[in-house]
Each structure stands twice: as structure tokens, then as C-alpha cells.
Amino acid sequence: MTVPATTSSPHTPADRDRSAVAWFEQRCGLKLADRQISFENPSLTEKVFVATRSNPDLTQATKWAAELLKSAPDSDLEKALATLSLLVAKRQSDDGAEELQLAAYVAELRRYPADIALSVITNWHRTSKFWPTWLELQEQLDALFGFRRRLLWMIQNVEYPPAQPEERPSDADVDAVKAIRDRTLAALQSSGRPKRPERGVIDDRLEAERVRERAAAEAALHPEAQP
């Protein structure tokens, strides 16, 4: 399974992150947002997912996250490192030491998503003519891994907008309800029905009107939620 792209296949880790964020929102109902984590410093924030619907698809989101975090096969990493060794200056060492270094680099690179690891290795020679130390590689890897490092945590800790408190009826609403009751009672009396009709007959009609009014208000407040 591959993470879908919005238009064409993403070419860089940053492109793939942007594509994934768009699909998490469009297909899973999860919108990336900034959450303030310090009252003393309002500018200090962290990334979180906020649900844009009542039932976000967390199962699909978890599958896509796993795909985004999948590491590259060892053979691909070894090939990329071997190619890099031909493009930059490298200190001469015996074959045994070079094999050990290659194995150590591959073991560390497994901790990073495939596209991030391969991107850093294959582009290293564009900014440096020397073979990188592991710390130099790690600095670039971590800079690209920031968003995805927290991806599963964000999915497992989705935030939901606070429920809107039920609005208390205004005096005008109360008067309108009384007027409806009076009209209903008058209509029932004029039709020859008992003077005190069953309460449920009136309440059902009132509830139907309230439901229609509430649905109209919700549609006006949240037009994007409408089909």
C-alpha cells in the first residue's frame, strides 16, 4: 500500500509530508493544527490532529502512517552508500573497517523512513565533497523526520472540538412555544376532540419544529459539514 498523493507522486520527503497531511484531512477527517503548550509563552506550540468529523477514520490513518514510517530495504541503503562513496572524498581504510562502517550506517538508517534516509544519502554530494560522519547525517535526517516522528502519537491522541452546550431557550422562544400550544389546543377543541388533548400530541409537534430549527441553525454555522 502506498500513501496517495494529491496530484502527482511526491519527489521529496517534504512533498510527501504535505501530500499525506492533505489526505489525512480529506480521507480520514484529521486536520493538522498547532496546540499551545505554554501559558507563559503563547508562541510555544506543538502539532496535533484535530477531528473534523465525529467519526474520523483512525484505522486508515494508522495504515498510512505505517507506510510513511517504513524503512528502506538494507540492499537499497547499501547501494546508496556505495554510490556516495564514489562521489565524495573518503579516507582510505582496510576492507574490513569499511564493511563494518557500512553495516553500522545501515543499522542506524533503518530507524528512519525510506524516502528520508535515501534522500539524505543521495543528495549529500550536492552540498559536500567529503564522506559524512554519522553525526552529520543524523542532523539532516532528524530535521526531515520531525513531523513523522510524532505521527502515530498524534493519531492515537486526536483532539475533538468541545461539544457545544445546549442553548437555553430565550423568552421569545418560550412565548412562541406557548403560542403553538394555544393554537394546537384551539384546533383540537374546534374539531370536537377532548378539551385537554393528550400531552404527547402537542409535544411531538413542538419537538418536530424544534428539530427543524436546530438543523437549520447547524447548517448555517457549519456549512462545510453539509453533504
Of all residues in the chain, the percent with pLDDT exceeding 90 is: 52
Domain assignment of residue 124, given as a range: 74-145
More confidently predicted of 205 and 4: 205
Residue at 19 is within a domain: yes
- If asked whether residues 108 and 80 sit together in one domain, one would say yes
Model confidence over 17-66: pLDDT tens digits? Answer: 999 999 999 999 999 998 887 777 878 888 899 999 989 999 999 999 99
- If asked whether residues 94 and 140 sit together in one domain, one would say yes
- If asked whether residues 50 and 105 sit together in one domain, one would say no
Residue at 90 is within a domain: yes
- If asked whether residues 131 and 187 sit together in one domain, one would say no
- If asked whether residues 62 and 80 sit together in one domain, one would say no
48 has which bridge partners? 33
Residue at 217 is within a domain: no
Residue ending a domain, choose from 156, 185, 204: 156
Residue at 58 is within a domain: yes
Number of domains in the chain: 3
